[in-house]
């Protein structure tokens, strides 16, 4: 999975079918060592929008798609099939599912632009948390810190 990307998945939650927009997904062990997938889901905080953190395991991993088996999350348990969201798919299929989708589609021209738009306009503090985690992982591997922070 790519961290600097937008993925989509259909919710496996019974009686709550909707498209999940997963911005900047990160898979890591939490403080207790349990595997966790976290990502930003743009929207109003509440049962759907906000920062999602799901316990479970990545069962198939790739840059274009990944599959996550969520366990121990209550109603959010299930199999999530995430697919990389291209700018073409956003403009042709999904822009009407997000607030200001028409405006976002006009303002973005590439898949990276789409990720960048969400990074700059929605939930920046949460992205900083992800960057801190990724920098810590680089340090553990003996790699230098990134030179820039956006």
Residue pLDDT, tens place only, 11-47: 998 888 888 999 888 888 877 888 889 888 876 555 5
Stretch 115-121: mean pLDDT: 83
Residues in the chain: 150
pTM (predicted TM-score):
0.78
What pLDDT does 136 receive?
76
Give domain limits for the chain.
6-140
Across the chain, the runs of DSSP E, i.e. the strands, are 6-10, 19-29, 35-41, 50-60, 65-70, 78-84
Structure token pair of residue 50: 């906000």
Average pLDDT, the chain: 83
- The β-bridge partners of 71 are none
Q: How many Cα atoms are found within 13 Å in the side-chain-facing hemisphere of 64?
A: 0
Q: Is residue 65's pLDDT more than 50? A: yes
Cα separation, 145 vs 149, whole angstroms: 10
- Indicate the SS3 state at residue 53: strand
Give yes or no for a contact between 58 and 73, defined as CB atoms under 8 angstroms apart. no
């Amino acid at each position: 999975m790519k961290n600097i990307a937008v993925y989509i998945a259909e919710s496996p939650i019974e009686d709550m079918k909707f498209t999940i927009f997963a911005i900047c997904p990160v898979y890591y062990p939490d403080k207790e060592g349990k595997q966790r997938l976290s990502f930003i889901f743009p929207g109003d905080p509440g049962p759907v929008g906000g920062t999602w953190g799901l316990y479970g395991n990545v069962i198939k991993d790739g840059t274009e798609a990944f599959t996550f088996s969520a366990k121990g999350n209550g109603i959010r348990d299930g199999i999530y099939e995430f697919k990389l969201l291209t700018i073409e798919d956003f403009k042709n299929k999904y822009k009407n599912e997000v607030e200001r989708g028409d405006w976002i589609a006009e303002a973005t021209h590439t898949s990276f632009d789409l990720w960048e738009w969400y990074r700059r306009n929605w939930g920046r503090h949460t992205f900083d948390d992800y960057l801190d985690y990724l920098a810590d992982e680089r340090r553990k591997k003996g790699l230098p810190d990134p030179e820039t922070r956006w």
